[in-house]
Structure 1
Amino acid sequence: MERDRDLDLTSGDWLDANRANWDERVPVHVASPFYDRADLRAGGSQLDPIAAAGIARLFPDGLDGVRVLHLQCHFGSDTLSLVNAGATAVGLDFSRPAVEEARRMAAELGVADRARFIEANVYDARHRLPEPESFDLVFTTWGTIGWLPDVAEWARIIAWFLKPGGGLYFADGHPAAFVFDGDGGPGGLPVFSYPYTSTDVIEFDDPSDYADPEARLASSRTVEWIHPLGEVLGAMRDAGLAIERFAEHHEVPWQIFPIAVPKGDGMYGWPAEPWLPLSYEVVASRASAVVE
């Protein structure tokens, strides 16, 4: 698939709109029960069941001594969950309020010496964090690449940061589910809304927020993209990453459609038949060669 190669990845209207939207979400999310951090404050984890199982599978002996780079970390709850489990981590996010809250929480937990947070667009990561081949694990989950126009460059950045033999853990909503929206189908099912293979920008003007149904955001415009599985997996391969595990799941850690119902542990899924996968995860390792 050919993306717009004239699009500036480090600045522009798309980035400004998305950043303004996420800046405004931060206080909403901090106050919302959706992001309750009681377990984190108790020294535990906020990781969802899919990511928690994936990390346990990848590091069966624990995270002590593991150095983690968490891309698009929001305000760092998952980053700090990995730190609570023994890792040393760097979290990166493009929202200044999110990074400020992450730093505040790291200080509250007394782990600021093992958790560093950097304000940066992911495409600027190599300039803001010039530490190639520094990390045992790059971690990035849930609501990440849909905000990025170019997953080929995203994959190259991941490979650049990983040590030889280091690994990527990635989980996100399934692109097959992202072609649907709303509840206008039979029985309240979502309806076809966006082409799976489209390279077009998808613009939304939606003041709502998934973490607080009462919230109304002033910065309501966002710019997003659908990245089919072939594009994502191909980008990883072309960047020198070897796919070690690929799995599809019928649950996600947010109410992806109005018809989705709680499945326990903060997960949501189809109310009856598992019509199609709602999420997927990938574990990949870095080979010796890196594509710059």
Structure 2
Amino acid sequence: MDAFKLSNRKNWDERADIHAQDRTGFYAIDAFLAGEDVLYPIEKREIGDIAGLKLAHFQCHIGIDTLCLARRGAVATGLDFSPNAIAQARTLSERSGIKADFVEGEVYDAPELIGSGFDMVFTSWGTITWLDDIRAWARAIAGVLKPGGRLYFADSNPSVMQHEEIEGSIRARYDWRSARESPQRFDSKTTYTGDQTPLVTDVTYEWMRGLSDVIGALLEAGMRLDWLREHETLPFKLYPMMVDAGERMFRLPPGVPRMPLALSLQATRTG
């Protein structure tokens, strides 16, 4: 594991333990344990009936979405590179009484780690920016899906990730593509949920890319794009100016030009 990924994994190990305590309610764990479906509204509207499907959740973190999918009837397997996240996911499975399998490992190695023949791959919110090889990601998706199996993907729109809020306005700050060997460095003393527990590993690295890189990688891997949608809300404050949009989502405030903050897509393995 190179220095970039090692720093990221240590950071996510710390975040997983903080997030599992959910002191700010960001992950709505108490509501989940009380029986509520805490998937975000975009996924709820779009994933369709998954009862009985063999489903792989890539970059599952502490497993709450995996378990929501299992509660909907999927036979779910979560995969994440953070051992702490996998441990917390297994604990959450035990606490909730909802069965799912959780496997530690790199998403690129998914076919070797969890096998093939899956009906669906699900991955959402804050995922691909942590990956240094989007083509390997797409190959892993195709590698675990059976022919006709589908991917559901929702995340920040790559076009907004190169921007930051600076002096009250949103401005381009980063190149739209990062070379594999030179990701963007970010320093943050705390995690994104509002919990003020200080992080020991407070440096992370992320890779910028274009929407064409994501779609192109999926097509190259033998996937067919079924649909692509853009959205004006996100489940987190990408920019500090963002305001509450309800249902645990955030949007840009009135007076700021509207932007496609999120995207979602479905793609199907063709062969």
Q: Shared fold by TM > 0.5?
A: yes
Partner of residue 209, structure 2: 227
Give yes or no for contact 1:202–1:223 (8 Å, CA) kept in 2: yes
The partner residue of 2:20 within 19, 30, 43 is 30
Is 1:128 the counterpart of 2:113 in the alignment? Answer: yes
Instruction: Give the alignment partner of residue 40 of structure 1, picking from 28, 32, 41.
Output: 32
Return the match for 2:10 from 15, 20, 38. Answer: 20
> Could you list the runs of 5+ residues in structure 2 that have no partner in the other structure?
none
Q: CA deviation at 1:126?
A: 2.5
Q: Does 1:117 align with 2:109?
A: no
**Is 1:44–1:85's contact at 8 Å kept on the other side of the alignment?**
no
Q: Quick check: 71-80 or 269-278, which moved more?
A: 269-278
Q: Following superposition of structure 1 onto structure 2, how do residues 117-266 of structure 1 map, counting pairs within 5 Å?
A: 117-129=102-114, 131-132=115-116, 134-184=117-167, 188-199=168-179, 200-266=182-248
| Offset at residue 30 of structure 1 (A) | 1.8
In structure 2, how many angstroms separate the alpha carbons of the residues matched to 1:220 and 1:111? 33
Name the residue aligned to 1:4: none
State how far apart, in whole Å, the 1-side matches of 2:170 and 2:195 are.
Answer: 19
In the alignment, which residue of structure 1 is the partner of 2:60?
Answer: 73
Alpha-carbon offset, residue 21 of structure 1: 0.4
1:146 aligns to what SS in structure 2? helix
Q: How does 1:44-59 map to 2 (within 5 A)?
A: 44-56=36-48
Contact 1:243 1:285 in 2 (8 A): yes
> What is the deviation of 1:180?
1.1
Deviations 1:7-64 (A, max 9, x none): xxxx2111111000000111221223101223321333111011111113xxxxx322
1:186-228 CA distance string (max 9 Å, x none): xx12322102234341112222311025232110111110120
CA deviations on 1:122-147 (whole Å, 9 max, x unpaired) are 12222322x22x21110000000100
Amino acid at match of 1:275: R
* Matched residues, number: 266
Q: Are 1:28 and 1:212, in contact at CA under 8 Å, matched by a contact in 2?
A: no
After superposition, the CA RMSD in angstroms is: 1.4
Q: Which amino acid aligns with 1:195?
A: D
CA distance in 1, matches of 2:207, 2:34: 37
Q: Percent identity?
A: 38
Deviations along 1:58-89, one digit per CA (max 9) or x if unpaired, are xxxx3221111000000100000001111110
Distance 1:274 1:191, change over 3 A: closer
Q: Is contact 2:109–2:140 with CA below 8 Å preserved after alignment?
A: no
Equivalent of residue 73 in structure 2, options 86, 89, 92: 86
